[in-house]
Chains A and B, each alone.
Chain A
């Protein structure tokens, strides 16, 4: 997975610039931050995630915050 968004991993959370529906900067909670890191590190794919983690990952794809393909 890859993203075109600028993001910051600090103080235990991931922050995604312009990641909100109106272009706000969003802070992911601890669980979502973990999923984000794993997806971008290509340790896992959205299809492999279950439950709310999977839903979260798929929502990132739907909104275009995450894109298929290898990260840079």
Chain B
């Protein structure tokens, strides 16, 4: 793909003057004249992490902030790319920019460094800046060990990046900016203290930035069960950080100072993007780390949106203890458009909850789920099934919790596969470093498979990986096709035995991964650690009449027949 606006940039400024940025030699008047540095902001690939599904909102905020100060930049989102980083950098000519900023997560650190090295090799004068949670956590290391990195911007990027861009434009040294880490001429790492957090988030421009992406984005939508309509959806962030200190959460690296936007500002943003895109967005996914810290503030935001357009529905993520604070607020939210809550349950084991520093008991998880179920609000489950110290007893508690609260019907089946990710800068990573007596490499994202402390749990985890690889794709396809078909028949007024059989088979199919895991846990508990060739023997029979998985899949395929060739796209989005 060709670069978007190659001719619009003036890139002559720093190209032959690499030292200008660092030691600011005396300049001629002409050379000292300000220029507009060509800036690119890059979200490198995070591989198969689910982080790749979302646009890089942190970069978008920085780009919008720079534009509000007269500095244009170009955005590149390779978050979902599976192409080699050097090939992407070459294809998009990232070596032709004066400043290249990378948003770096643990998952994307290696790709960011590869791209940066490729750029630096071809254009040594390009200023390579890294920011984001991972860069913040290992700022000193990035500067000390990776010569292709010139600067690290820690925590919030807006102010430091503006100052850096201004200094480049004025050909002044870029070292010494608040909130940054750099390399001194003698090679030593130096840094300035963090600037104050941006307290008034309403002063920030809306995150209006367009990205060149090699993979594109699916149109964001939400199927609203209540109205039966597929709605165009928008992601909006109404706060920064989170006041809690869950030990696994990468937000901790950015700092725990929780700040919020006003309801009016949030409504203005929705209106702004509706007008910009010509799309009447009717569902808002709040992407806050924790939207519901202050229930009254959260309600005021949703009330303001409802007053702006009563057709808009919303959803958000929060912790379980927040849910129990104010059921009346949630009830009102439901009346005015709240559709689902993404709930950080994480575990049903007291020991795991303690390791994760959730500060809640399993009973709080149960009470929060029951509260939302009582209110008729859908729940999106955030769960961490496996961490290195997980025991079989923990797994039993997790499965019992999921079964008891009806989550065996829950799809996607991620909850039973999710393993703890030891992000750099998080307390749980340090906990396991101490516990296992080894330090992980700074940019390493440790593979949990080699960290399990209990052989029986490791065997269950291996069995689940086998199941996911071998059977989950077929189950996902059958569920997507089957749900579409059942919905089509039902809404078309069709009744009778085939619809009933299909409905029950779909329930049974949803249960299979959970019941399979239950069987593995039981076998491990009996001292029968399943070997790979024996996994198949643990596959359950489910449904009415009970059927083995192959039979169940065949039955659904037979019932669906050719129906799936007449897919209604709106329904497909709902279930796929």
* A residues whose Cβ falls under 8 Å from a Cβ of B: 5-13, 15, 17-18, 22-25, 27, 29-30
Within 8 A of A (CB), among B343-391: 373
B403 in contact with A12 (CB, 8 Å)? yes
Contact B406 A27 (CB under 8 A): yes
Q: List 24 A-B contacts (CB under 8 A).
A: A6-B500, A6-B544, A8-B504, A8-B508, A8-B543, A8-B544, A9-B544, A10-B511, A11-B403, A11-B408, A11-B409, A11-B511, A11-B515, A12-B403, A13-B406, A17-B500, A18-B499, A23-B490, A23-B495, A25-B486, A25-B506, A25-B507, A27-B507, A30-B404
Q: Is residue B501 within 8 Å, beta carbon to beta carbon, of the partner chain?
A: yes
Complex Cα distance, B507 from A8, in Å, reads 9
Give every chain A residue within 8 A of B491 (Cβ-Cβ). Answer: 22
A30 partner residues in chain B, CB cutoff 8 A: 404
Q: 6 closest A-B pairs (Cβ-Cβ)?
A: A17-B500, A25-B503, A11-B408, A6-B500, A8-B544, A17-B503
Contacts A18-B495, A23-B490, A24-B490; A10 near B500 (Cβ below 8 A): no
**Smallest CB–CB gap between A26 and chain B, Å?**
10
Are A15 and B507 touching (Cβ within 8 A)?
yes
Tell whether A10 pairs with B406 under 8 Å between CB atoms, given A25-B504, A25-B507.
no
CB closest residue in chain B, given A15: B507
Chain A CB within 10 Å, residue with most, of B409, B514, B542: B409
B497 interfacial by beta-carbon distance below 8 Å: yes
Cβ-neighbour of B499 out of A7, A23, A27, A29 (below 8 A): A23
Contact residues in B for A8 (Cβ distance below 8 Å) = 504, 507-508, 543-544
| Bound CA span A22–B490, Å | 8
Q: Given the complex, which residues of A lie within 8 Å of B515, measured CB to CB?
A: 11
| Smallest beta-carbon distance A51→chain B, Å | 16
User: Which of chain B's residues have a CB closer than 8 A to the CB of A7?
Assistant: 504, 544
State A23–B495 Cα separation when bound (angstroms).
8
How far, in whole Å, are A38 and B542 apart by their CA atoms in the complex? 22
Complex contact B514–A11 (CB within 8 A): yes
A10/B404 in contact, CB under 8 A: no
The answer on a CB contact under 8 Å between B504 and A17 is yes
Q: Which of B503-524 contact A (CB under 8 A)?
A: 503-504, 506-508, 511, 514-515
Query: Is A18 touching B406 in the complex (CB atoms < 8 A)?
Result: no
Q: Which of A12, A13, A18, A22 contacts B503 (CB 8 A)?
A: A18
A6 x B406 contact (CB < 8 A): no
Considering only CB atoms, which chain B residue lies closest to A6 in the complex? B500
Q: Name A's interface SS.
A: loop
Q: For the complex, what is the distance from the CA of A30 to the CA of B404, rounded to whole Å?
A: 8
What CA separation (Å) do A49 and B507 show in the bound complex? 29
Please give 18 more A-B residue pairs, beta carbons under 8 A apart, in addition to A8-B508, A13-B408: A6-B497, A6-B501, A7-B504, A9-B544, A10-B542, A11-B403, A11-B409, A11-B511, A11-B514, A12-B406, A12-B408, A17-B501, A17-B503, A18-B499, A23-B490, A23-B495, A24-B490, A25-B504
- A67 CA to B345 CA in the complex, in Å? 40
A10–B499 contact, CB under 8 A? no
Instruction: Establish whether residues B409 and A27, one from each chain, have CB atoms under 8 Å apart when the complex forms.
Output: yes
Total interface residues on B, CB under 8 Å, equals: 25
A15 touches B499 (CB 8 A): no
Taking CB atoms, residues of chain A closer than 8 Å to B499 are 17-18, 23
A18, B500: Cβ atoms under 8 Å? yes
Q: How far is the CA of A7 from the CA of B507 in the complex (A)?
A: 11
A13 and B410 CA atoms in complex are apart in Å by 13
CB neighbours (8 Å) of B403 from chain A are 11-12
Q: Chain A's nearest CB lies how many Å from the CB of B212?
A: 44
Chain A positions within 8 Å of B497 at CB level: 6
Residue of B504, B511, B542 touching A6 (CB-CB under 8 A): B504
Bound together, the chains give a CA A47 to CA B499 distance in angstroms of: 32
B506's closest neighbor in chain A, by CB? A25
CB distance from A50 to the nearest CB of B (A): 21
Query: How many angstroms between the C-alpha atoms of A8 and B408 in the bound complex?
Result: 14
CA distance A21 to B504 in the complex (A): 17
B511 cross-chain contacts in A, Cβ below 8 A: 10-11
Evaluate contact between B503 and A10: CB separation under 8 angstroms. Answer: no
Across the interface, B404 reaches (CB within 8 A) one of A12, A15, A27, namely A12
Which chain B residues lie closer than 8 Å to A25 at the CB level? 486, 503-504, 506-507
| Minimal Cβ-Cβ distance residue in B for A18 | B500
What is the CA–CA distance of A30 and B490 in the complex, to the nearest angstrom? 26
**Bound complex: CA of A8 vs CA of B547, how far in Å?**
12
**Chain B 381-416: CB-based contact to A (< 8 A → 1; otherwise 0):** 000000000000000000000011010110000000
CA distance A22 to B503 in the complex (A): 13
Cα–Cα, bound, A28→B501 (Å): 18
Residues of B contacting A9 in the complex (Cβ-Cβ under 8 angstroms): 544
Closest B residue to A11 by beta carbon equals B408
Query: Which of A11, A24, A30: most chain B Cβ within 10 A?
Result: A11
Interface string of B532-554 (1 = CB under 8 A from A): 00000000001110000000000
| Most B CB within 10 A of own CB, among A17, A18, A23 | A17
Point out which of B373, B406, B501 has the most chain A C-beta atoms below 10 A from its C-beta. Answer: B406
In the complex the two chains form, what is the Cα distance from A6 to B515 in whole Å? 22
* B486 neighbours in A (Cβ, 8 Å): 25
In the complex, which residue of chain B has the Cβ closest to the Cβ of A12?
B403
Q: Which of B472-511 touch A at CB < 8 Å?
A: 486, 490-491, 495, 497, 499-501, 503-504, 506-508, 511
Chain A residue nearest in CB terms to B486: A25
Given the complex of chains A and B, what is the CA–CA distance between A27 and B495 in angstroms? 18
Which residue from chain B places its CB closest to the CB of A4 in the assembled complex? B500
Residue of B nearest to A26 (CB): B503
Distance, CA A17 to CA B491, complexed state (A):
14
Name the A residues within 8 Å of B503 (CB-CB).
6, 15, 17-18, 24-25
B504's closest neighbor in chain A, by CB? A8
Given A18-B503, A27-B406 in contact, is the A10-B508 Cβ separation under 8 Å? yes
Q: How far is the CA of A10 from the CA of B514 in the complex (A)?
A: 12
